[in-house]
Amino acid sequence: MAGLRLKTKHNDSARTAIIISKTDTSHLNTSRLVLTVLVLIFAAVGSYLLIFSHAATSLSADFNTDGVVNVTDLSILATNWGRTSATHAQGDANSDGTINIYDLSILASQWGQVVSTGQPPNSINIKDYGATGDGVTNDTANLLTAFNAAVAQNKVAYVPAGTYAGEFNIPDSLTLVGASKDTTWLKGKLTFGSNDTISGLKIGDTGDSAVHNRNGASYTTFTDCHFRGGSPGAPDGNFSTIALGDDGSTNHITFKDSDIERNLGLGDNIGIVEDGSTSGGAHVDSITFDNDHVGVSNGRTDISRNIGGPRGGIEIWTNSNNGTALHGWSNINILNSTFEATDSFCIDLADMPLASGQRASGPVRVAGNTIKGGGWGSAQPYGYTLAIESPKGVIIENNTIYRGRDSTMGTGASSGLPSGYIIRNNIIDLSFDNGITVDSSPYSKMMEFQGDSATFSGNTVTTNVGGITLQLDQFTNGTVTGNGFNELRSSNTPWALAYGQTSNTSITGNTFRTAATTNSVLWDAGGNSNNTITPNTFLHN
């Protein structure tokens, strides 16, 4: 076997041919027989090794992604044998970074199999345009050439497994499909336009946002993606992991079934900015997040906590000119998603008034989410879970909401009080230990609502921490009805509901259950008028 080697060459059809040569070429058939026997031995041993190493069902030894595991893949593996920091394209079948016996065993167990490349029909492979996917070479130019060709030919641009370094300003009307968000990484900022459809990719890296829109970008969808981004010292929207608006208008953008990492720096995980300071400033409309996981681990080991967010899970706000805006954001939907607890606020819905005094921004709907809290630790200010800073048309419904350090839910801001918001049918579990410590003084407020014509109904609130469960302040023409308040502490129980400076409000049909025997449940804090306080139900555990 000393003279046995593998070589490759390209025929006129650009297909790779394998030549097995030996010093004594008259024994070519013998060499082939020996190679076949070796492969069969590897196949037998490979199945045994895989039991003790990795599950073969999710691994592939099709290193050149031609759809079949054969001698070409064996040649790739042999060439890179023993290499570290290796990629799949170099023979790393089990993605452990080293090419060794485990990769050989996977290849042997899949020998001769026709495997799916994952490449969709009517598509082009970006590697056919010179992209390397080695994580080192700047693939920007080659990918842009491939993307433009895909649009021109009305085809899908397929990105096989690998790490593609660069910055990617993709054309309009591009359908971009990766092998999977776990194996295919566009390692750099992606700027998108209109009518783009992106799926199966990890996108972004440290130093900038993962994605941002071009001015006028519309009707673009991201599905089953993973986003990584942020830069130390930059908490503004441009350095959010996902950054929308700010310096360019955008509308009808959807993020679905995707993971958004904890920001690598100090910014938000998701930042949406309306530039209402000028008439021609960026306008943001019809943005949807659906079934996403916000604040997944960014893998950093040099910080005490690498999940959640250093600032906001999602922050939506309007820039103004001397305190008033010329226009505001509209039609935001945050649906069926999980938000890991953040160091500061988890969800912030912020706005500025128009010159007329009316609210500039809204509506927004937050529904079906699990919102795990805000204010983890004590280093960051604004430790709340969800804040309504006065946009119009707010609906918060059917969520599970955990406690915040300073407040779990609150309304109002220096820009004015909100009106017409609806908070209904949520599970607000303040007793769940999410690692966030709250103020235990009896006058602290777990939730505080202000404003006009608001509704708090059908919610189930459970607590064993903090002070007043719900405080109404400057609350007018509102409704608090059909809620269940469950106090689990048996002594030193704060008030379940306090109301002050409240008028023309109905607080009826609620059930207050407490383990305490002597403490009052409701507190008239003064300055109230024309409120209806009965009937309510009071139960003792």
**In angstroms, rounded to a whole number, what is the distance separating the alpha carbons of residues 155 and 393?**
41
pLDDT at 233: 57
Cβ proximity of 399 and 367 under 8 Å: yes
pLDDT at 465: 95
> Same CATH fold, 161-540 and 5-109?
no
CA atoms within a 13 Å half-sphere pointing along the CA-CB vector of 221: 9
Q: Which two tokens stand for residue 363?
A: 């509506």
Residues 6+ apart with CB under 8 A from 301: none
Distances (CA, A) of 172 to 150, 194, 219, 429: 11, 5, 10, 44
Low-confidence ranges of the chain (pLDDT < 50): 1-28, 46-58, 237
Distances (CA, A) of 414 to 162, 294, 353, 396, 452: 49, 28, 11, 22, 16
Q: Is 11 in a helix, a strand, or coil?
A: coil
pLDDT at 416: 87
pLDDT at 27: 47
CATH 1.10.1330.10 fits 5-109, yes or no: yes
pLDDT at 273: 96
Query: What's the CATH code, domain 161-540?
Result: 2.160.20
pLDDT at 31: 52
In 10 A of CB 509, how many CB atoms?
16
Whole-prediction pTM value?
Answer: 0.81
Q: Please give the radius of gyration of the chain, using alpha carbons only, rounded to the nearest integer.
A: 29
pLDDT at 28: 46
Question: Domain ranges in the chain?
Answer: 5-109, 161-540
For the stretch 443-496, pLDDT in tens is: 999 999 999 999 999 999 999 999 999 999 999 999 999 999 999 998 778 899
